[in-house]
């Protein structure tokens, strides 16, 4: 290579470096700084272990060649079946902990994991919005709406078993949507399959993912064989993952669809019903109609057992406005209709659950619905920037989520 060619190559490399989007690095740095100060304020080790370490115990059992825990841990939600104790949650969150146990033993960094899951979801949303041609500042603003101006912050303060499952499901679902939007079909469907292994109702995301896939290949409708060939590897990988879920459930409980929740004492012999239409009325009262603050002993206090999910996750208020605006301006496409329909069905199924998350800030189960709003935002038809009302809502939403996450623990 001549001197002139080397100089040209260096100039080209320098130009590419200047054009790189460094915003994801800034988001990583800002997230690390935020949690360092926030966890110091609330008095929690940002990278420590959790006492609710069900997945770590499961990982250690796997390493010893066992599918059961072999003993009871009364403070954990364990399924009791044929005289043994099993993890009553879907298995995927155990996988990263399995590898971490080789480094940390039983003291896995659970508190750090939930924060990394939030960051992964955050970066996926940003990537999708940039691909949808939003400017950097608007993409960051909306990313903050989904990740930090919601119940998610409260789920990342401590790495308990419930929060690990929900945060990993959020990260994988956002990654699945972003990958589909970026035409990485196989990677999208693999992420989707693993997300279902964290939160089974996330299977509903398959419908909007297929709708987005159809939108990607809209210019090639006459070449449907090409479009079909693109999706086959991802479908086969997803079916393989689903097979292992069924096999794992079968060898533990004799039922490929049973992951253990029905064998919790509260649902097996104490008379409770996990899912029932009878739970809807109370859940609507608690998580749709209830206000955040209630008068207790003459003082106004934040409710620690749930309140209106629209207030806890204000992006859903924007979601409803986006839908209304699209209907009024006649740009409500069939893809948008599928996204909204899937979200509504998912919410209905969550409302069937008896507890909806228990002690919490807001309504933590509804965090499972956040990726629907992110995918809707990336659809065609709206301006590719953050509007003034959305900017005005972001700041109080951020402060309220931080206040709520801290108040739950202090």
Number of neighbouring beta carbons within 10 Å of residue 267: 17
* Whether the predicted pLDDT of 91 surpasses 90: yes
The span from the CA of 263 to the CA of 79, in Å, is 5
CB-CB contact of 73 with 109 (8 Å)? no
| CA-to-CA separations, 104 to 99, 115, 285, in angstroms, rounded | 9, 18, 43
In the numeric block, the tokens 């065609």 are attached to 380
The mean pLDDT value for 263-276 works out to 73
Q: What's the confidence (pLDDT) of residue 8?
A: 55
CB 231 within 8 A of CB 189: yes
User: What does the chain come to in residues?
Assistant: 410
> Which whole number is the average pLDDT over 189-215?
95
Mean pLDDT, rounded, of the chain: 89
Tokens of 316: 């859903």
Model confidence pLDDT, tens digit, residues 339-360: 999 999 999 999 999 888 878 8
Task: Specify the DSSP element, H or E, that contains 297.
Answer: none
Task: For residues 202 and 210, give the distance between their C-alpha atoms in angstroms, rounded to a whole number.
Answer: 14
Q: Is the pLDDT of residue 316 over 80?
A: yes
**40-78 residue pLDDT tens:** 999 999 999 999 999 999 999 999 999 999 999 989 989
Task: Indicate if the pLDDT at residue 11 is higher than 70.
Answer: no
Window from 3-12, 184-193, 235-244 with minimum mean pLDDT: 3-12
pLDDT tier for residue 266 given thresholds of 50, 70 and 90? confident
Whole-prediction pTM? 0.93
**Which tokens is 218 given?**
């809209």
Amino acid 229: pLDDT: 79
Q: What is the mean pLDDT of residues 160-171?
A: 95
Q: CA–CA separation, 54 vs 266, rounded Å?
A: 18
Q: How deeply is 264 buried, as exposed, middle or buried, from its count of CB atoms within 10 A (0-12, 13-18, 19+)?
A: middle
Q: Round to whole Å and give the CA distance between 140 and 146.
A: 10
Mean pLDDT of 4-14: 55
Q: Can you tell me whether residue 302 is helix, strand or coil?
A: strand
| Alpha carbons 406 and 410: distance in angstroms, whole number | 6
Convert the pLDDT of each residue in 103-136 to its tens digit.
999 999 999 999 999 999 999 999 999 999 999 9
> b/e map of 145-172 (b: 16 or more CB within 10 Å)?
bbbbbbbbbbbbbbbbbbbbbbbbbbbb
């Amino acid at each position: 290579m001549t001197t002139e060619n080397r100089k040209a190559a260096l100039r080209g490399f320098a130009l590419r470096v200047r054009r790189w989007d460094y915003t994801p690095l800034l988001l990583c740095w800002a997230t690390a700084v935020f949690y360092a100060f926030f966890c110091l304020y609330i008095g929690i080790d940002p990278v420590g272990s959790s006492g609710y370490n069900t997945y770590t115990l499961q990982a250690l059992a796997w390493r010893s060649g066992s599918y059961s825990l072999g003993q009871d841990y009364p403070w954990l939600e364990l399924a009791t079946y044929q005289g043994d104790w099993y993890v009553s949650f879907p298995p995927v969150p155990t996988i990263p902990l399995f590898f971490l146990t080789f480094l940390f033993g039983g003291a896995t960094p659970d508190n750090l994991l939930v924060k990394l899951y939030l960051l992964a979801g955050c970066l996926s949303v940003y990537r999708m919005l940039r691909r949808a041609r939003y400017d950097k500042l608007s993409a960051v603003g909306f990313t903050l709406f989904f990740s930090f101006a919601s119940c998610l912050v409260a789920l990342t303060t401590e790495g308990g078993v419930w929060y690990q499952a929900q945060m990993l499901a959020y990260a994988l679902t956002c990654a699945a949507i972003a990958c589909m939007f970026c035409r990485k079909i196989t990677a999208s469907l693999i992420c989707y399959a693993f997300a279902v292994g964290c939160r089974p109702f996330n299977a509903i995301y398959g419908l909007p993912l297929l709708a987005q896939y159809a939108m990607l290949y809209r210019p090639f409708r006459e070449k449907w064989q090409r479009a079909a060939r693109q999706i086959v590897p991802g479908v086969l990988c997803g079916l393989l993952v689903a097979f292992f879920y069924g096999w794992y459930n079968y060898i533990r409980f004799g039922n490929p669809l049973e992951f253990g929740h029905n064998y919790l004492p509260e649902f097996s012999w104490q008379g409770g019903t996990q899912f029932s239409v009878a739970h809807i009325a109370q859940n609507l009262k608690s998580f749709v109609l209830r206000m955040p603050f209630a008068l207790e002993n003459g003082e106004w206090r934040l409710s620690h057992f749930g309140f209106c999910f629209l207030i806890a996750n204000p992006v859903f208020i924007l979601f409803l406005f986006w839908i209304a605006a699209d209907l009024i301006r006649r740009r409500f496409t069939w893809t948008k209709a599928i996204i909204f329909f899937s979200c509504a069905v998912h919410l209905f199924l969550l409302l069937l659950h008896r507890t909806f998350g228990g002690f919490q800030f807001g309504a933590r189960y509804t965090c499972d619905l956040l990726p629907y709003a992110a995918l809707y935002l990336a659809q065609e038809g709206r301006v590719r920037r953050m509007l003034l009302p959305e900017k005005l809502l972001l700041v109080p939403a951020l402060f309220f989520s931080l206040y709520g996450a801290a108040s739950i623990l202090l």
